Structure 1
Amino acid sequence: MAGHYLTRRSRSATWAWNLSIFALALLPISVAFFRLHVLDQAALSLSLLLAGGIAALGLLLALFAILLIWRGGARGGGRAVAALMAGCIAAVPFLGAAYLFSKYPNGHSAETTGMRQALAETAAPVAPISTLDGVLVGRNFQATASTVYQAARAALEKSGMTLVDVQTPEMLRPQGPDLGVSGTVTVPIPTLRDSLNLDEDEDETSDDPYADLDSDDYTIRAVGYVPLFGFPSDATIRIVETDGTTYVDMRSVSRNLERDLGQNRRLIQGFLSRLDEAMKIEEGITPDS
């Protein structure tokens, strides 16, 4: 006498698949909405936490479904394995963030040793140095400060950072009466028309007020951005020439984050690496490709 056995499909496998796919889709959607300014930072955090929780639940259900299918012979093994793989992919960003958090549990800024010493002298607060990666060391070049400054401008551009301001000691205005007022005369002295540069074919670099600065001491302020999320960091770069040697130090501070997960360190390291390459070009050395 022949018998016919019916095998049911595992519901947990279907639920695990649906949850894992939803978490996998929620991650890029959350980031895209944040970059489009639909979500603010608080809403982004909640959305990412929701995606992480759903991904974890999907992984647990996928493991549970595989165990039931293995023991009871229910249908849906392929769906359960696919849900497990999708859940693992969705969990990768959270595992990476957890690793970075364990490596950089505190701080939202970073600086080179020279900048740290300068901040210590002014009693400015500095974050503790991470012992895992060691200290960040600035650069020194046997070149003039103006040469290093031009290389730093190129390194900023290649790093995707935005130049905000450049200050030199020569740019500081002396305290005193307004320009154009002499002695007790209260009427501004007119500027002769012949002293103005009215050349319409003026070089395009004239639109850049920081292009041709010549000094032995520069303070550059720029803004860098976290990849993917675009969180801004305010960077300060010091270029100082002393006895024929030019020293470069840098500090980067996250504007909106309490913990940067090492991003400011990576921003400084990336800039200094590109500065080394730019200096090779300034010195006529072709960098290795």
Structure 2
Amino acid sequence: MRRKYIRPQSKAALMCPRFGLFAVALLLVALVLHRFGFIQTVNLPYIMALVGISAALSLIFAFFGLRALWQEGYKGGLSCVKGGLLAFMALAPLLFIGAAWFAFPPLYDITTDFDTPPAFLAGSRPADALPVKAGFTPAAAEEQWAAWPQLSGRRYDGSPDTVLKAVYAVLKAKNWTISGEQGKAGEDSLLLVEVVAKTFVLGFVSDIIIRLSDEGDTSFVDMRSASRYLPRDYGINARFIADFMNRLDAEILSLPVDETRD
């Protein structure tokens, strides 16, 4: 009578896809909840650490499961492959973020004016937000300049109230929320508009102050953007400023000539 050989099931192979699936699910849920403000940025690193641990455990179980398959013929090879792929799916964004952390300079407060940076309105940033500089040291200015030399203020023909209309149009197009204003168009020579901006995918929040200075026949626009909770902003604030200024250039050019000369 022929005896039937039953291959034993590797326990490591059973656990491998479970940890891999948990890591991917936790990563996706955490990012979605953070995007819509249900998870604070300060808590996100702890969740990402749990994702990394789960993915690492999945890879460890995959190793032992495949070794049991190779040496003793245990079942579970396909489960190990699936779990390993899930683990790499969870680890890939974490590795990318880690590499970017070292690639970008340790800056979170970016400005177009190092000498007299626009000041945020009093009480506008949350109490637990990262502190903003009263002034930029030469070292900080040099570090920003080395990374983003293209950032600069803009001088436009026309009065601040005319330029302010263009600023409002760009803010509406970018869906940035105005959180405060100072100065009255047509009366004050200095106008300040403070807004809150979020990155599209992950929802990282920055406070941005836009300063319009009356120079007589022209107006000068400066900006400052500071992350609330990211101690290293991955270039987010520089991109906020650069994109806004480019859009403002286009908006000013679209205004009637007689309006910019008022």
Matched, 1:151 2:151: no
Residue 265 of structure 1 aligns with an amino acid whose one-letter code is A
Task: Give ranges in structure 2 of 5+ residues lacking alignment.
Answer: 119-132, 258-262
User: What is the RMSD of the two structures over their aligned residues, measured on CA atoms?
Assistant: 3.3
* 1:140/1:247 contact within 8 Å kept: yes
* 1:100/1:262 contact within 8 Å kept: no
* 2:111/2:117 contact within 8 Å kept: no
Residue 133 of structure 1: how far off its partner (Å): 4.2
Change in 2 beyond 3 A, CA 1:134/1:94: farther
Rounded Cα–Cα distance in structure 2 between residues aligned with 1:283 and 1:57: 63
TM-score under structure 1 normalisation? 0.67
Q: Which residue is equivalent to 1:214?
A: 186
Q: Which residue is equivalent to 1:223?
A: 196
Q: Which residue is equivalent to 2:155?
A: 140
* 1:234/1:252 contact within 8 Å kept: yes
Matched, 1:252 2:250: no
Rounded Cα–Cα distance in structure 2 between residues aligned with 1:11 and 1:50: 22
* 1:159/1:274 contact within 8 Å kept: no
Rounded Cα–Cα distance in structure 2 between residues aligned with 1:283 and 1:10: 74
Residue 232 of structure 1 aligns with an amino acid whose one-letter code is V
Residue 224 of structure 2 aligns with an amino acid whose one-letter code is R
* 1:103/1:132 contact within 8 Å kept: no
Residue 13 of structure 1: how far off its partner (Å): 2.5
- CA deviations 1:49-94 (Å, max 9, x no partner) are 2112212222343345345545654432222222122112111321
List, as ranges, runs of 4+ consecutive aligned residues in structure 1 with deviation greater than 6 Å: none
The one of 100, 124, 127 equivalent to 2:135 is: 124
SS at match of 1:98: helix
Rounded Cα–Cα distance in structure 1 between residues aligned with 2:158 and 2:28: 46
Change in 2 beyond 3 A, CA 1:72/1:141: farther
Rounded Cα–Cα distance in structure 1 between residues aligned with 2:217 and 2:59: 61
Residue 9 of structure 1: how far off its partner (Å): 3.1
Rounded Cα–Cα distance in structure 1 between residues aligned with 2:36 and 2:78: 37
Rounded Cα–Cα distance in structure 2 between residues aligned with 1:53 and 1:248: 47
Residue 274 of structure 1 aligns with an amino acid whose one-letter code is R
Task: Give ranges in structure 1 of 5+ residues lacking alignment.
Answer: 172-212, 285-289
Q: Which residue is equivalent to 1:167?
A: 182
Rounded Cα–Cα distance in structure 2 between residues aligned with 1:63 and 1:154: 56
